[in-house]
Amino acid sequence: MQNLIAYPPIALPTLQQWWTKNSQATTPLAIKYMAQCESTNAQLYSSARQHNTLLVTEQQSHGKGQFERTWVSQSGDLIFSVGLLLHASHLPALSLRIGLALTQVFKQHDLNVRLKWANDVIASHPDTGQRGKLAGILVQSTATAQPNTLWVVVGVGINVAARLLPQNISPSVFVPIGLAQLSSKWMSPPAGEREALLMQLVDTILVHIETISVQGSLANQWNPHDLWYDHAMTLTDAQGNEHTGIGAGINDSGEYQLLSNNTLKSFHSGQLRPEKTSS
């Protein structure tokens, strides 16, 4: 199924009205819209860095994901970045907390989603069970003139439009899947529905960030959503070394853990893939 729907542009006044009426976050937020830009993350990363800002666009010419991969969007997708002045203590494992926020909202919309360490939300098709990448997260940061304060840009891409789902692909490869494939509501959503979902996601992200200090164990919150928990996995680290073991979720520092020979090994970064199984 390929997207043939021409979604109307995001309406900035609708975003602002939703925020005024419904926001649970206490973070002051300027809301901006650009019909197109090179990248919402790049735009905010190079901005004045003086005010917390949400930037929404319809189209990016150079959207980026994890590991410098290109993020390809279609008409109707939700593309936004939030630039925030945050204490440096908020940065560790921030992308994992953002993933939790997205998952919370998607589950409220009755979507079957899981988290793939460290930056992706994976959704399952309600009929076929085929899994695809519904959302991606990119967190970037830089120092500011204020002590212990960082300018942090949280970029999020949500696939809304329907995509073609290839057959017989590797279980470690997740092609994009859109909300329109998961629920007929998103084939032609009512006016204001995309704006409402976008702002609900932003609001939940900010609430999660605001309450980091009282949330308790990150691992206890994240691991129930882990896509690869209790699966035989291979992790390739930054040096290209491969490590095998059973997926054991994250620790409270956000490192992924593999259980190998009754020993837990933790990894700060790397790429996970499931072990091949014989047929």
Whether 168 has a pLDDT exceeding 80, the answer reads no
Q: What is the mean pLDDT of residues 9-13?
A: 97
Q: Which tokens go with 114?
A: 């899981």
Dihedral angle sign, alpha carbons of residues 89, 224, 139, 195? negative
**Percent of the chain scoring above 90 in pLDDT:** 78
Asked if 28 contacts 51 with a C-beta cutoff of 8 angstroms, the reply is: yes
Q: Which tokens go with 217?
A: 């164990």
The structural domains of the chain, ordered by start, are: 12-217 (3.30.930.10), 228-274 (2.30.30.100)
The per-residue pLDDT for 48 is: 80
- SS3 label, residue 210: helix
Q: What is the mean pLDDT of residues 155-177?
A: 80
Average model confidence (pLDDT) across the chain: 91
What element of type H or E holds 256? strand 256-260
Of 230, 219, 250, which is closest to residue 270 (Cα–Cα)?
250
Render 129-192 in DSSP notation, one character per residue: --EEEEEEEEEEEEE-SSTTEEEEEEEEEE--S-----SS--TT---B--HHHH-GGGTSPPTT
Whether 279 has a pLDDT exceeding 50, the answer reads no
Q: Which tokens go with 201?
A: 């996601």
Rg (alpha carbons) of the chain, rounded to whole number: 19
pLDDT band at 165 (very low <50, low <70, confident <90, very high): low
The per-residue pLDDT for 275 is: 87
- Angle of helix 12-22 versus helix 193-210 axis, rounded to 10: 50
Q: What is the pTM of this model?
A: 0.92
Whether 23 has a pLDDT exceeding 60, the answer reads yes
Asked if 172 contacts 273 with a C-beta cutoff of 8 angstroms, the reply is: yes
Q: How far is CA 102 from CA 50, 95, 108, 224, 263, in A?
A: 26, 11, 10, 14, 32
Q: What is the mean pLDDT of residues 174-193?
A: 93
Predicted confidence (pLDDT) per residue in 24-83, tens digit? 999 999 999 999 999 999 999 998 888 999 999 999 987 665 555 666 678 899 999 999
Q: How far is CA 192 from CA 124, 184, 254, in A?
A: 25, 16, 35
The per-residue pLDDT for 223 is: 98
The per-residue pLDDT for 53 is: 97
Main-chain phi, psi angles of 50, to 5 degrees: -110, -25
Q: What is the largest CA-CA distance in the chain?
A: 58
